[in-house]
Structure 1
Amino acid sequence: MDKRNRSARNVLSATLALTLLAAPFISTHESTVAAKIQPSDYQKNSKAKLSHKQNIHVQLLGLNDLHGQLDTDTKVGTDLAGSMEYTAAAIRQREASNRNTLLVHAGDMIGGSPLVSALFQDEPTVEVMEAMGFDVGTLGNHEFDEGIAELQRMIKGGDHPKGTEGYDGMNFPVVAANAFDTATGKLITKPYTTKKAGSKKIGFIGVVTQETPNMIVKKGNETLQITDEVAAINKYTKILKKKGVEAIVVLAHNPTTQSGNGDAFDATKIAENIDDEVDVIFAAHNHVNVDKVVDGKLIVQAYSYGSAFSDVDLELDAKTGDIVKKEAEVVTVFQKDYTPDPKVSAIMKKYEDLVAPIKAEVVGNSKETLKTGYPSTAGDFGDTALGNLIADGMKTAMNADFALMNGGGVRAQLEAGEVTFGDLFSIQPFGNVLNKVKLSGADLETVLNNQITARGLDFHVAGFKYTYTYDPAAKTGKVIDVFLPDGSKIDKTKEYTVVVNNYMYGNTKYGIGTLAADLEVGPEDLQATVDFVKTLPKPFEYKTEGRITKVSQ
């Protein structure tokens, strides 16, 4: 992709101004958290040599859930994994072993990104993907972070005030067979594409989880419709078969786990119900390791953030083009094993140099490391120190009685020591805007009940405490009491001011937008946290304090 960048001075000043003036990204949050990676999770499978030399041997190399984390190091045991200059080198090394190699992705490659990508509208991530030579990808829920129109610009090209001059879109196809724009009545992208492998073709069908509309902000996505994945896959599998394509791969931004399934739109359930002509499913969304066969379909997922990639080896019948053998492994990108790819390194350095002054601004000092994560149902106390800090900052910024912060919006832990703007951006990269509303005590209790799901608790809170029950077997819970700071119970008939972010306000499963009154729009959530941290002692100390307490039933 040929990009004619502005001068470093102009880009830096423009992005700094946009960031500090809180020109927001619109965002979404998935409902899962990246699993903690253990060294044993990354054991490479010993792949047997594929047979029948006369057949066509194809290698599919896949990434999922990169989230623009170009310069993110992932700790695996005592070693570092990921960072895209290493990931690109590892993939290029594998690619060299088979001329019939295709590079694919299963969505969420952009959105929720760190400064190096987000300050330039995630165009640096597209530049890196193109340098790596991606052949096809699909949509994840985060591709909708700024609405359908911006997604179309990212795919097709066009200038953006925060982007790079002359941005010309993605030079590889993006496919999604179940993502519609009801304003046009058409699919947002093409449903499938085909790629040549030797003398035969492989069909790639894309789908995105049906949960997407419930996980994203409404602004810009009012006309988004996600239809049934199985029906979409079967429809276009039939079309591909009529075209004589016998090898069919699905790129699914749907979660699954190595054993069983636990999601309403799980890739394992999809595998059990789709046409048996589909041979491979690249899964995504829940950031875990998957390499299994379900109903004859191979399902793979390679964690997240480029810390690993999936390697799927296929053998196509030389006459029919059908897949006669398939196997896979999930490969860890240990940095010590590779020399950074020079082309990707150059792209990353260009943008890292531009964001360095912004990223390095010191805004505070933390006495301890504050870990990320959703409120816990495992112990008596469910609140987290980092969640408490962010919620307190929201409450302070809007001078509200209470604050609620969704757990999926807290994306990284805060390390002990100096706290920089870059550190806080990594924690809250979405550019959400604070919304203050009025809720009755009864409505607040309803909202708190709505955030208790099969996955557990969602909200970090400020300005009140509450008790709840939770049955881990049934995966259900209920709020028991809500207490004010003075220890008295909340008045269910009284109205209170509550600050949330715009993603939470528009999320139908929470019910905030329906129940609330007198909406007041405030600053960007990140800026609220930055301003709050600046007011804290140096060093400051935040701890779990029992804002959320589990009680027996």
Structure 2
Amino acid sequence: MIFKQFMICTCLVLLVSCKTKTLNLTKIEGKQIQISEELPPNQDLIDFIKPYHDHVVSTLDSTLAYAPETYNKNDGTFNTAIGNFMADVVYEQANPIFKSRTGQDIDFVLLNKGGIRAPISKGNITSRTAYEIMPFENSIIVAAIKGTQVNKALNYLSKSKTAHPVSKLKLVINSDFDIVEASVKGQKIDDNRTYFVATNDYLYNGGDNMTFFKPNDTAYVLNYKLRNAFIDYFTKVDTINPMIDDRFIQIQ
């Protein structure tokens, strides 16, 4: 009996002694390291990164095409050479992808002037050029919308007084910014027809107050970034030839 009591007491002592202690944080210490010329470089890290750095720089700066002039988004009132060029490139690069998947052609392209973030400078065009004019990760989306929504898009363009890039679309407005003429691929807008309009995901989701893409019959995500479309186009041409034309004009 005494031995049994001894064993019970021993087990209780062991259980109490094995109990996990609760640790509480009472203090945090640290110091600020200033990044300056006095901070010595880590040569091992520099040597590790250098091959990747050199490869990226070489890829970005390799010549793809040539620009005979400098093209700026402020060089026109209602349409600009760079804006026309960018919209036309989106059509040329995206339409074969869209047609292969759906059997349909894109009817027109609508982008936004604000999305052009840099000019295309005269001289060699590189991949870096594409990153400069389109630094965002925006991708191409084709929305199937009715003619009534196309008319809303045209009204938006006429009232915005801005050179938003368009392709395969013609719009003529008067001095009061009322629409005088409008067509898609040379045909008048049919309210009941479904039109396939290529844009980017930012505008499709209402960016720049372009709310006319929704609701829609269908939206086709091409998984094709705008920037990549430009790089692919630059790769297959020798010299670009952007031009201001009559796709969006104002008559007095």
Please say whether Structure 1 and Structure 2 have the same fold, judged by a TM-score greater than 0.5: yes
Match of 1:521 among 196, 221, 230: 221
Counterpart for residue 357 of structure 1 = 58
Structure 1 residues 375 and 502, CA gap change in structure 2 (3 angstroms) = farther
Match of 1:398 among 87, 90, 94: 94
Tell whether 2:146 aligns with 1:447. no
Counterpart for residue 131 of structure 2 = 425
Counterpart for residue 506 of structure 1 = 205
Q: Note the 1:46-445 alignment, pairs <5 A.
A: 355-373=56-74, 376=77, 382-399=78-95, 400-445=106-151
Moved over 6 A (4+): 1-6
Separation of aligned partners in 2, 1:497 and 1:385: 24
Separation of aligned partners in 2, 1:519 and 1:448: 20
CA displacement, residues 357-411 of structure 1 (integer Å, 9 cap, x when unaligned): 23202221122221223861xxxxx211111111011112321221111000001
Does the CA-based 8 Å contact 1:436-1:499 persist in structure 2? yes
Q: CA deviation at 1:444?
A: 1.3
Name the SS for the 2:202 alignment partner.
Answer: helix
Does the CA-based 8 Å contact 1:506-1:512 persist in structure 2? no
Tell whether 2:231 aligns with 1:530. yes
Does the CA-based 8 Å contact 2:107-2:184 persist in structure 1? no
Q: CA deviation at 1:539?
A: 2.2
Structure 1 residues 453 and 366, CA gap change in structure 2 (3 angstroms) = same
Structure 1 residues 374 and 444, CA gap change in structure 2 (3 angstroms) = farther
Structure 1 residues 375 and 448, CA gap change in structure 2 (3 angstroms) = farther
Give structure 2 stretches of 5+ with no counterpart.
1-31, 36-41, 96-105
Matched letter for residue 418 of structure 1: N
Separation of aligned partners in 2, 1:530 and 1:434: 14
Q: CA deviation at 1:449?
A: 1.8
Separation of aligned partners in 2, 1:374 and 1:436: 28
CA displacement, residues 6-58 of structure 1 (integer Å, 9 cap, x when unaligned): 8315754xxxxxxxxxxxxxxxxxxxxxxxxxxxxxxxxxxxxxxxxxxxxxx
Counterpart for residue 56 of structure 1 = none
Structure 1 residues 415 and 459, CA gap change in structure 2 (3 angstroms) = same
Counterpart for residue 461 of structure 1 = 166
CA displacement, residues 471-524 of structure 1 (integer Å, 9 cap, x when unaligned): 4xxxxx343322233x33232321121110111111262113424331111201
Matched letter for residue 155 of structure 2: N
Tell whether 2:200 aligns with 1:494. no
Name the SS for the 1:459 alignment partner.
Answer: coil
Does the CA-based 8 Å contact 2:65-2:126 persist in structure 1? yes
Paired residues in the alignment total 199
Q: What root-mean-square deviation, in Å, do the aligned CA atoms of Structure 1 and Structure 2 show?
A: 2.7
Structure 1 residues 548 and 416, CA gap change in structure 2 (3 angstroms) = same
TM-score normalized with structure 1 length: 0.33
Greater share of strand residues, 1 or 2? 1
Counterpart for residue 12 of structure 2 = none
Match of 2:180 among 450, 456, 480: 480
Matched letter for residue 365 of structure 1: Y
Does the CA-based 8 Å contact 2:158-2:173 persist in structure 1? no
CA displacement, residues 250-301 of structure 1 (integer Å, 9 cap, x when unaligned): xxxxxxxxxxxxxxxxxxxxxxxxxxxxxxxxxxxxxxxxxxxxxxxxxxxx
Name the SS for the 2:214 alignment partner.
Answer: helix
Q: CA deviation at 1:437?
A: 0.9
Separation of aligned partners in 2, 1:458 and 1:515: 25
Structure 1 residues 520 and 488, CA gap change in structure 2 (3 angstroms) = closer
Structure 1 residues 441 and 481, CA gap change in structure 2 (3 angstroms) = farther
Name the SS for the 1:489 alignment partner.
Answer: coil
Does the CA-based 8 Å contact 2:108-2:184 persist in structure 1? no
Separation of aligned partners in 1, 2:51 and 2:151: 49
Counterpart for residue 21 of structure 2 = none
Give structure 1 stretches of 5+ with no counterpart.
13-352, 377-381, 472-476
Does the CA-based 8 Å contact 1:452-1:458 persist in structure 2? no
Name the SS for the 2:83 alignment partner.
Answer: helix
Q: CA deviation at 1:448?
A: 2.7
Q: CA deviation at 1:458?
A: 4.8
Greater share of helix residues, 1 or 2? 2
Name the SS for the 2:173 alignment partner.
Answer: strand
Separation of aligned partners in 2, 1:484 and 1:356: 42
TM-score normalized with structure 2 length: 0.69
Counterpart for residue 8 of structure 1 = 49
Find the structure with the greater CA-based Rg. 2
Counterpart for residue 92 of structure 1 = none
Separation of aligned partners in 2, 1:375 and 1:482: 20
Counterpart for residue 248 of structure 2 = 548
Greater relative contact order structure (CA < 8 Å, 6+ sep): 2
